[in-house]
Amino acid sequence: MFHLILFLFFGVICVAGAVNLLVQSHPINSALSLIAVMASLAAEYLLLGAEFVAAVQVIVYAGAIMVLFVITIMLLNAGKEERSKGSRVAILIGVPGVVIGGVLVAWTLLHRSNAEAVPIGALKGDPSDIARLLFHDFLLPFEVTSVLILIAIMGAVVLASRPEAVARGPRKDG
Amino acid sequence: MVPLSYYLLLSGILFVCGVLGFLIKRNIITIFMSIELMLNGVNLSFVAFAAHWHALSGQVFVFFVMVVAAAEAAVGLAIIIAVYRTRETLNVDRVNLLKL
């Protein structure tokens, strides 16, 4: 019961943040509500017994990635977004379609799935078990992602540097 | 005890919000944040299924998804900076030419 209350509490924060992201017209407000979504998702992970994922969620997502977003928003001095006119046909067909699809999916999940309740804390989500899995069974993907990160960093540096600086080559005095 | 379907519903709602933001929003940074929201929704269903099936590899996959999201954010934001430098706008409606 206590778990259900906590789940609902953080779930409501999650959905409210996601909707606020859609409603806000200034990107910095959207970024802040996305941080709220990620923080409450970390709490949901804790409820599921995944401590490692919760910690990584806060450190990587709410920390590193969102700092990148906020820095970019401030760097580019992004203002309010301009709304453009959408087509009426999209609204006429799309809104009922979304409602019907959502009701179908919710009904299927709630009534037609024979899923048992998740026993909280039954998962052996020990960071040491995850480390054993990560450095033993998934060692090759782990190393490949490190190469991926390296390539992404180099690509970001090349893309974000000024074109004339790339054409001139590395500075001699620096 | 929280049923698995509740977690899946929450994950679906987050994913749909991400899709809606991707389609509705006109600011390129907000569109990018909507993609992150979709990834978060998928991560939640990964962890919920991992807890349901007592399989720890679901959490490892969440870790990999986060790594890919970090790489994507770094490259994507660099592309946004490059686009802003040449077009001087963040509105995707005005970025409609491949070459200036």
Residue pairs between chains A and B whose CB atoms are closer than 8 Å: 225
Domain B4-87: give its CATH architecture: Orthogonal Bundle (1.10)
Helical pair A139-160 and B57-87, crossing angle rounded to 10 deg: 10
Nearest to B13 among A15, A30, A115 (CB): A15
d(CA A122, CA A151): 39
Contact state of A52 with B93 under an 8 Å Cβ cutoff: no
As a whole number, mean pLDDT of residues A115-140 equals: 75
Contact state of A56 with B60 under an 8 Å Cβ cutoff: no
Please give the residue range of the domain that contains residue A8. 1-80
pLDDT per residue as tens digits for the range A40-64: 999 999 888 888 899 999 999 888 9
Question: How does residue A122 score in pLDDT terms, banded at 50, 70 and 90?
Answer: low
Question: How does residue A170 score in pLDDT terms, banded at 50, 70 and 90?
Answer: low
Residue A113 belongs to a domain: no
Tokens of A30: 């959207």
Say if CB A34 and CB B33 are below 8 A apart.
yes
Residue A58 belongs to a domain: yes
Residue A107 belongs to a domain: no
CATH code, domain with A51: 1.20.120.1200
As a whole number, mean pLDDT of residues A150-164 equals: 87
ipTM score assigned to the predicted complex? 0.91
pLDDT of A162? 77
Decide if pLDDT at B43 tops 60. yes
Contact state of A156 with B18 under an 8 Å Cβ cutoff: no
Taking residue B21's Cβ as centre, other Cβ atoms within 10 Å add up to 25
CA end-to-end span of chain A: 62
Residue A39 belongs to a domain: yes
Count of structural domains, chain A:
1
Question: How does residue A71 score in pLDDT terms, banded at 50, 70 and 90?
Answer: very high
Decide if pLDDT at A173 tops 60. no
* CA A77 to chain centroid: 23
Cα angle B50-B52-B58, degrees, rounded to a multiple of 5: 5
Rounded to the nearest 5 percent, the helix, strand and coil shares of chain A are 75, 0, 25
pLDDT of A13? 94
Contact state of A138 with B9 under an 8 Å Cβ cutoff: no
Nearest to A21 among B12, B21, B74 (CB): B21
Tokens of A142: 């782990």
Say if CB B32 and CB B75 are below 8 A apart.
no
Residue A60 belongs to a domain: yes
d(CA A80, CA A142): 40
**Phi and psi, residue A79, nearest 5°:** -100, -165
Residue A55 belongs to a domain: yes
Chain A contact set for B33 (CB, 8 A)? 21, 27, 30-31, 34, 69
Domain layout of chain B by residue ranges: 4-87
